A and B are shown apart, each in its own frame.
Chain A
Amino acid sequence: AQSVTQLDSQVPVFEEAPVELRCNYSSSVSVYLFWYVQYPNQGLQLLLKYLSGSTLVKGINGFEAEFNKSQTSFHLRKPSVHISDTAEYFCAGISGGYNKLIFGAGTRLAVHP
Chain B
Amino acid sequence: DTGVSQDPRHKITKRGQNVTFRCDPISEHNRLYWYRQTLGQGPEFLTYFQNEAQLEKSRLLSDRFSAERPKGSFSTLEIQRTEQGDSAMYLCASSLGDTSYNEQFFGPGTRLTVL
Contact = CB atoms under 8 A, between A and B. Distances in A.
Interface string B82-115: 0000000001010101000111101111010000
A101 B43 contact: yes
Nearest to A9: B40
Contacts of B104: 99, 101
A103 B40 contact: no
A92 to B, nearest CB: 7
A103 B43 contact: yes
A105 interface: yes
B96 to A, nearest CB: 11
A98 B103 contact: no
Contacts of B4: 43
Nearest to B91: A43
B103 A44 contact: no
Nearest to B9: A41
B40 A44 contact: no
Q: What interface size band does chain A fall in?
A: 20 to 34
Q: What interface size band does chain B fall in?
A: 20 to 34
Contacts of A102: 45
B103 A90 contact: no
B75 interface: no
B103 A49 contact: yes
A100 B101 contact: no
A108 B33 CA distance: 25
Nearest to A30: B101
Nearest to A43: B106
Contacts of B102: 99
B108 A105 contact: no
Contacts of A101: 33, 35, 43, 45, 104
Q: Which 6 interchain pairs have the tightest Cβ spacing?
A: A103-B42, A43-B106, A44-B106, A100-B45, A43-B108, A98-B48
21 contacts: A6-B42, A32-B101, A36-B106, A41-B108, A43-B4, A43-B108, A44-B106, A90-B42, A94-B101, A97-B56, A98-B31, A98-B48, A98-B56, A99-B31, A99-B97, A100-B33, A100-B48, A101-B45, A103-B44, A105-B40, A106-B42
